[in-house]
Amino acid sequence: MKNKIAICPGSFDPITNGHVDIIERASKIFDKIFIAVLENPDKESFFSLTERLRLVKSSVSHLKNIEVESFHGLLVEYARRVSAKAIIRGLRAVSDFEYEFQMALTNRKMDAELETIFFMTDHKYSYLSSSYVKQIAVLGGDIKDFVPPAVLKKLKGGKKQ
Ligand code: PNS
């Protein structure tokens, strides 16, 4: 049987429990998943690429069939490089739909062989976003229910690295 390889792309700035939940569920379906952390010099991120990679790696270290890499340029080209047949994305509320729909159709136009597969968020994480996590942390709120331990440790104190 052919290996089922997927990519799970994102900014992961930082990774949240919502991301981890989707990666865990997807890891049961695919033989191998590459988590593709976006390296985008045009978009300022809160955490550096090195730090985002470290936090993702540490948060999924309990999963055996996951590799974490950075990518730049077109996602479809990265997918071809790692022989992935699917892009995994999480869907929270209806408000995610338009952005995700546009991205999925654009990627499909560029590579008709590459499917985007959506995982519905667990209701526990339906409201969760990396942006709010950062905001709450910076303003001194408690984010322990929202992020993996490594991210919690990094964000404690609410300071930018
Ligand atoms: O976590 P995010 O920020 O919603 O992830 C967005 C991401 C990284 C999936 C998207 O920006 C992306 O794929 N960027 C790579 C550039 C690209 O391929 N663009 C064309 C498809 S829309």
Q: 103-122 pLDDT, tens per residue?
A: 999 999 999 999 999 999 99
Catalytic, 45? Answer no
Q: Which of 96, 105, 94, 32 has the alpha carbon at shortest distance from 64?
A: 32
Q: How many domains does the chain have?
A: 1
Q: Quick one: which atom of ligand 1 is closest to the CA of 74?
A: 18
The response to whether residue 11 sits with its C-beta less than 6 Å from ligand 1 reads yes
Share of the chain residues as helix, strand and coil, in percent rounded to the nearest 5: 40, 20, 40
The tokens for 95 are: 């408000």
Roughly how many angstroms between the first and final C-alpha of the chain, as a whole number? 45
Catalytic, 52? Answer no
CATH number of the domain to which 90 belongs: 3.40.50.620
Global pTM value: 0.94
Distance between Cα 10 and ligand 1 center (Å): 6
Distance between Cα 45 and ligand 1 center (Å): 14
Residue 43 has pLDDT above 90, yes or no: no
Question: Which residue range is the domain that position 141 belongs to?
Answer: 5-158
Catalytic, 19? Answer yes
Q: Which of 7, 15, 38 to mutate to test the pocket of ligand 1 (most atoms within 8 A of CB)?
A: 38
- For 77-97, how does the pLDDT look when each residue is reduced to its tens digit (9 = 90+)? 999 999 999 999 999 988 899
